[in-house]
Amino acid sequence: MYCSGFQGEYSESETFLRRALAIDEKVLGPELPTVAEVLNSLGLLLESKGDYSAPEPLFRRALAIDEKVLGPEHLCTAKMLNNLPEVLEQRADYAGAEPLFRRALTIYEKVPGILNDHFKSGQRLSLQNGPTGLAVRD
């Protein structure tokens, strides 16, 4: 359903994701990686709409869940460490974004071939030359 957001059906996608989040939190509990994934998807949807404030608390919560449940060095944690600074950077909070980008990159660099695998598979992983000089986007 999130894909429909890229087709301009943001309202439908947002409604679906908010409903999925409520169900997951009620049925599974508020601190599971599946909840973090829905929070991440909702944050990405809002970001794709050009909203760079609303995603921040969603990404921060998703990051906190993944760090607690999966650990600070897990690849899912790296993904969250990567998405949060994207919105910070859009709001010119470079000082807040840079350490998060660096943490994400450090995790990605520890996994042999992960950077090359992302490039080869066509997933959205890029090193950009913005003010921070770093952005690994999943």
Instruction: Identify the pLDDT of residue 5.
Output: 43
Side chain identity, residue 13: S
What parts of the chain have a pLDDT lower than 50?
A: 1-6, 118-132, 134-138
Instruction: Identify the pLDDT of residue 138.
Output: 47
Domains by residue range for the chain, with CATH:
2-121 (1.25.40.10)
Instruction: Identify the pLDDT of residue 9.
Output: 75
- Helix 75-90 to helix 55-69 angle (10° resolution) is 160
